[in-house]
Chains A and B, each alone.
Chain A
């Protein structure tokens, strides 16, 4: 039973869900404003690299996180420039930036750290030890020793949910994603709103990258995000474009991912499942969950559509 719902599996679920959730949150913000940003994968990757790079150069964790977030924002800004100002094809622009991010980070990592790797002494994001949970069954093991970024993510989910649905700027952001022309006629600056949303998505995804490099791995390696930005987009859809939903979706995926590790070597009726097939669990579980529980979801009405204000 422990391999299914034990503390270890739950802790792993949370760990594996966190980067996916952060990418998905980025997706929620940008798509709620009407811009599709599949460059989230790239934003994660530059976040992962520049976090390590800045940690190495400055030795300061806050500076490292700041640098990573800025890098994510800059990459997202290029996407915003293309998608919003130049009304470029958002998918192609996103693909291009993903390739760019992969090339750039690999290139710099190779130039800077090819033989020695990133220094092992760089400051890492600490775990938060919840002493009072030490002896709590399951709960203590599951959440008693998680990265600070895990808790930050949880806070971001709550704040973002409140922001989108309980604040004036959130209302405006949603209106821009649903009906930009209506928003425009009411004096809301559609382009500026979308710029902010895309930049925020880059920052959130970059934080997911930092989590991977400075919390999970303690180093950078080529393409270390390994498609989590895309999984995050799927989680965003599965979560119906809401922060809480995105977190839930990421947890489903993370749980499947955790199972693929915990079920290794477990025999069912004397038969051991091939490890390779165990790795398909998170993907199959996600599709089944969507098919079983969620059904049709409604995307923001103006998602992915460039906006051209009238007035010639």
Chain B
């Protein structure tokens, strides 16, 4: 449905220039609002990468962004627009949280894979429903996934506030019971290296998932089929690749990536499911995927960029005194300028002659 006009793999020059241009524009905005842009960006950098601890926190934010980004990207590759990564993440979290708390005494070797599976499956089923509705009933996946995002939020309200997953909790935080120790993803950074780091094994899972994403799409028959459906649905159909089946499969895979993100937030970070949990990752994921041109390395880099903004933006507020809304505005400008990369390309074009295809 959409062709990346530009691949990160062709060289990072243009995205990098875009980001710089955007930062200048954002700095202008900060300056107009009466703050010092240098201080602001210094705080941004320090907040994102200033210390091993900050880096570990940035990575922690990058994990769900990366996974939901992969979720959106894999669907894009098959020509579907998955706006539902947020909902799929939540279903994955609920499923993982339920399994992890249901049998808290199981040893890690049993419970952790079980929780992992539950998270992935939960997301996959939820995503698969959108794929199935599209394949069987022709329901536009954009509608279904938008509606699913809202639905799961209210279902979670119920589950955690006065439904079956509600935990008798001290002060009324709507949350589930904690998962068993066996379901916890261990912290992988020793305390003497980075004190009080929360960086858990989920980071490795996310990297593994990125490799899996690449391997699936470019090294397996299924991935080939998904890309073929995405780029030439009718050609794929006549060659015996049923696009409808692939729609269900790819939405399930997309849901699986997002569900894994939810599971990692539960097993790695919170050790339970909270109401109003991990808000917004699935929406940022759309931008993460598109910015990364739906390519593995691109998605990793753009997830890191967004995570850096998220963490660094906090320090722009606490240290440089810049309203968090201004930080949002700067973030939006960066995103916007990167979207309009043709501006940068137009400038770049002066130094090179584009080769035009001849009919």
A96 with B2: CB separation less than 8 A: no
A92 with B338: CB separation less than 8 A: yes
A287 with B333: CB separation less than 8 A: no
Residue of A at shortest CB range from B356? A312
**At the interface, is chain A mostly helix, strand, loop or mixed?**
helix
Q: How many A-B residue pairs have CB under 8 A?
A: 142
Residue of B at shortest CB range from A230? B146
B137 with A291: CB separation less than 8 A: yes
A51 to B158, CA, bound (A): 36
Would you call A296 an interface residue if the criterion is a C-beta within 8 Å of the partner chain's C-beta atoms? yes
Q: Which of A69-102 contact B (CB under 8 A)?
A: 78, 81-82, 86-89, 91-93, 95-100, 102
B285 to chain A, nearest CB (A): 10
A99 with B335: CB separation less than 8 A: yes
B342 with A295: CB separation less than 8 A: no
A92 with B133: CB separation less than 8 A: no
A223 to chain B, nearest CB (A): 11
Q: Which of A253-312 contact B (CB under 8 A)?
A: 274, 276-277, 279-280, 283-284, 286-287, 290-291, 294-297, 304, 312
B335 with A91: CB separation less than 8 A: no
Contacts of A233 in B (CB 8 A): 142, 146
Task: Take A99-B332, A237-B143 as given contacts and tell me if A110 and B155 are in contact as well, using a CB distance cutoff of 8 Å.
Answer: no
A280 with B154: CB separation less than 8 A: yes
B336 with A96: CB separation less than 8 A: yes
A274 with B138: CB separation less than 8 A: no
A102 with B339: CB separation less than 8 A: no
Task: Take A106-B325, A296-B138 as given contacts and tell me if A290 and B143 are in contact as well, using a CB distance cutoff of 8 Å.
Answer: yes
Would you call A133 an interface residue if the criterion is a C-beta within 8 Å of the partner chain's C-beta atoms? no
A118 to chain B, nearest CB (A): 17
A86 with B342: CB separation less than 8 A: yes
**Residues 21-33 of chain B, each 1 if its beta carbon lies under 8 Å from chain A, else 0:** 0000000000000
Residue of A at shortest CB range from B143? A234
A96 with B342: CB separation less than 8 A: no
Q: Which of B325-359 contact A (CB under 8 A)?
A: 325-329, 331-333, 335-336, 338-343, 346, 356
A88 with B340: CB separation less than 8 A: yes
A86 to B338, CA, bound (A): 11
Would you call A156 an interface residue if the criterion is a C-beta within 8 Å of the partner chain's C-beta atoms? no
B339 with A287: CB separation less than 8 A: no
Would you call A183 an interface residue if the criterion is a C-beta within 8 Å of the partner chain's C-beta atoms? no
Q: Which of A47-70 contact B (CB under 8 A)?
A: none
Contacts of A81 in B (CB 8 A): 340
A103 with B332: CB separation less than 8 A: yes
Would you call A211 an interface residue if the criterion is a C-beta within 8 Å of the partner chain's C-beta atoms? no
Contacts of B336 in A (CB 8 A): 78, 82, 88, 92-93, 96-97, 100
A187 to chain B, nearest CB (A): 23
Contacts of B326 in A (CB 8 A): 103, 107
Residue of B at shortest CB range from A260? B154
B151 with A283: CB separation less than 8 A: yes
Would you call B80 an interface residue if the criterion is a C-beta within 8 Å of the partner chain's C-beta atoms? no
B142 with A88: CB separation less than 8 A: no
Contacts of A96 in B (CB 8 A): 287, 332-333, 335-336, 339
A93 to B334, CA, bound (A): 10
B342 with A87: CB separation less than 8 A: yes
A186 to chain B, nearest CB (A): 21
A312 to B291, CA, bound (A): 29
Contacts of B329 in A (CB 8 A): 99-100, 103-104, 107
Would you call A244 an interface residue if the criterion is a C-beta within 8 Å of the partner chain's C-beta atoms? no
Chain A interface residue count, CB cutoff 8 Å, equals 46
Would you call B163 an interface residue if the criterion is a C-beta within 8 Å of the partner chain's C-beta atoms? yes
B339 with A93: CB separation less than 8 A: yes
A155 to B205, CA, bound (A): 55
A183 to B148, CA, bound (A): 38
A96 to B144, CA, bound (A): 23
B324 to chain A, nearest CB (A): 8
B133 with A231: CB separation less than 8 A: no
Contacts of B325 in A (CB 8 A): 102-104, 106-107, 110
A213 to B64, CA, bound (A): 34
Would you call A195 an interface residue if the criterion is a C-beta within 8 Å of the partner chain's C-beta atoms? no
**Residues 148-187 of chain B, each 1 if its beta carbon lies under 8 Å from chain A, else 0:** 1011001101100111000000000000000000000000
Would you call B140 an interface residue if the criterion is a C-beta within 8 Å of the partner chain's C-beta atoms? yes
Out of A92, A231, A274, A296, which one reaches B335, CB within 8 Å? A92
Task: Take A89-B290, A107-B323 as given contacts and tell me if A277 and B155 are in contact as well, using a CB distance cutoff of 8 Å.
Answer: yes
Contacts of A126 in B (CB 8 A): none
B342 with A88: CB separation less than 8 A: yes
Out of A89, A231, A290, A312, which one reaches B139, CB within 8 Å? A290
A231 with B137: CB separation less than 8 A: no
Would you call A169 an interface residue if the criterion is a C-beta within 8 Å of the partner chain's C-beta atoms? no
Contacts of A95 in B (CB 8 A): 283, 286-287, 335
B192 to chain A, nearest CB (A): 39
A138 to chain B, nearest CB (A): 29
Residue of B at shortest CB range from A78? B336
Would you call A220 an interface residue if the criterion is a C-beta within 8 Å of the partner chain's C-beta atoms? no
Residue of A at shortest CB range from B326? A107
Contacts of A91 in B (CB 8 A): 286, 290
Would you call B16 an interface residue if the criterion is a C-beta within 8 Å of the partner chain's C-beta atoms? no
Would you call B204 an interface residue if the criterion is a C-beta within 8 Å of the partner chain's C-beta atoms? no
**Residues 220-247 of chain A, each 1 if its beta carbon lies under 8 Å from chain B, else 0:** 0000000100110110011000000000
Q: List 25 A-B contacts (CB under 8 A).
A: A87-B342, A88-B336, A88-B342, A92-B338, A93-B339, A96-B335, A97-B332, A103-B325, A103-B326, A103-B327, A103-B328, A106-B325, A107-B325, A230-B83, A234-B146, A237-B142, A238-B143, A276-B162, A276-B163, A283-B148, A286-B143, A287-B139, A287-B143, A304-B1, A304-B2
Chain A interface (Cβ within 8 Å of chain B)?
78, 81-82, 86-89, 91-93, 95-100, 102-104, 106-107, 110, 227, 230-231, 233-234, 237-238, 274, 276-277, 279-280, 283-284, 286-287, 290-291, 294-297, 304, 312
* 8 closest residue pairs by CB, A with B: A103-B328, A296-B138, A107-B325, A100-B332, A276-B158, A92-B339, A96-B336, A96-B335
